[in-house]
A and B are shown apart, each in its own frame.
Chain A
Amino acid sequence: MSGFDLSEILGNPDYAAMLLHGIKMTFIIYAGSWSMAMALALLLLGVRLSPFRFGDPLVAAYVSYHRNVPTLVQLMLWYFGIFTLMPSGVATWLASHNAEAIFAVIGLGLCQAAYFSEDLRSGVRSVGDGQMQAARALGHGYVSATRFVIMPQGVRNALPPLVNHSVSLFKNSSLAVVIGASELTHAVKEIENLSFRTFEIYLIGTVLYLFFSLVIMSIGAYLSMRADPARSARA
């Protein structure tokens, strides 16, 4: 080891470009899988909350599968397995459009939807029954009572676990490196191979992950503060 020296990595425009590209891809994968997970979680929640009971076992099975199978195995199943089963036209199109990142988004999004939907469900369940009855008594229908009375409170209750799971999704996005997506961890490994500055580049990668995790946590803390009923009562 020839001493600690960050300048070799930060001063090299090639490495800096690789790092920036990695950060960009990490954020694309994160934003894509987060949006997909949230949309799907709301759908799953809708099925769970609806008065029709027949969808419940399906949602329970979905959640149970995604919580009990390692995320890495789910990604492998998508990228190595389902990808090869697709019709050749679709597969060719995907292969020329960064298939690794697309499957990372699909795999992570489907998996995270299970966690998000459970967070939302526990949030909604913690809203008292009286709220629904009161809303109905005020003349709201079931859908509008859910939309205007139950959900705003339920989502507020669900904020802390949602923030936790948003952070863990961000960290899990590093798993995309296993199926070959060129995100931040990938960039770190590449630069390590090229520069042999192992300690320095891992340090940079780690600090970046820590920093962005903290940013997501602060956004969560800000939202919790905004959603605090005591505060909105004052405003």
Chain B
Amino acid sequence: MIQDMIAIIRDYWLLLLIGQYPNGPLGGLANTLILSALSIALAFPVSILFAMARLSKSPLLRWPVTALVYFTRGVPLLMLILWSYFLVPLMTGADVPSFVTMLTTLVVYQSAFLSEVVRAGIVALGPGQMDAARALGHGYFGAMRYIILPQALYNMIPSIISTFVSTIKDTTLGYVINVPDLTFAASQVNNQLLTQPFQVFLILAIVYFIICWTLTYFANRLERRITRRRAGLSSLPVASLVTPSKIVSEQL
């Protein structure tokens, strides 16, 4: 059993790592990580804008974004993927690779979730920070840029890592539209071997576990450190130090 698994890894490690590359598209674990990293990198600025829109006084900004966030959180990710699979080629009028379709979906999906994290981070700071910044002569955007966001985002680092972990897990759904990621590579291996599906999928589970567990562990360590540092640096009541990841720790 374990020997079978070692043999599979020995024979197929390259396929699991980078897919068919360079004879085909980049795939495997490399593609999973690139897809996750890209979607977080793109979703992050969008989520800040979403959060600011949701906290804005103007209903014109607040309502559409709130509706979008509620919609995204109420619909299964799989359904959103099917929507993009159908809508993205229709809107661009071109043959879109499944990687781009998946990236689009993940950016929309993670922006909605991250925006709630950012919003919680800003709300957790308390209104005094904004009042003080405005009193010092900052405009709204200046205060956001120099006072609110740096503090809120720093407190949010652990939650962002958690979101990254869930993005890695979400990329597996690209399987449905044949995104060449790690899950796809594993099912290719399974199709070639045919006789050892348990071993193949156990390897897959273990690889995901190692990556996600490491990141989760790192996020927890960081969260403790941030809480400690905040507690040491200021004499604010502890209630205002609740990090946003406590509020939005697990995604819906």
A residues touching B (Cβ–Cβ < 8 Å)? 64-65, 67-74, 76-77, 80-82, 84-85, 115, 161, 164-165, 167-168, 171-175, 177-178, 185, 188-189, 198-199, 202, 205-206, 209-210, 213-214
Contacts and interface: CB of A to CB of B under 8 A. Distances in A.
Contact of A80 (B77, B172, B190, B251): B190
Contacts of B13: none
22 contacts: A68-B165, A68-B216, A69-B208, A69-B209, A70-B168, A70-B172, A70-B183, A70-B208, A72-B173, A72-B175, A73-B201, A73-B204, A77-B202, A77-B204, A85-B198, A167-B74, A167-B252, A174-B79, A189-B82, A198-B86, A199-B86, A214-B74
A164 B201 contact: no
Contacts of B170: 70
B75 A73 contact: no
Given A76-B201, A80-B190, A80-B201, A175 B78 contact: yes
A118 to B, nearest CB: 8
Interface core residue of B78, B202, B213 (most chain A CB under 10 Å): B78
User: Interface SS of chain B: helix, strand, loop or mixed?
Assistant: helix
B213 A210 contact: no
Given A73-B205, A77-B205, A80-B190, 5 more contacts: A67-B212, A70-B168, A73-B208, A167-B252, A172-B76
B79 A209 contact: yes
Interface core residue of A69, A188, A202 (most chain B CB under 10 Å): A69
Given A69-B208, A73-B172, A164 B79 contact: no
Given A81-B202, A178-B175, A209-B76, A68 B83 contact: no
Contacts of B169: 69-71
B78 A80 contact: no
B250 interface: yes
Which 9 A-B pairs give the minimum distances between C-beta atoms?
A81-B198, A68-B212, A70-B169, A174-B76, A171-B76, A70-B172, A77-B201, A72-B172, A80-B197
B71 interface: yes
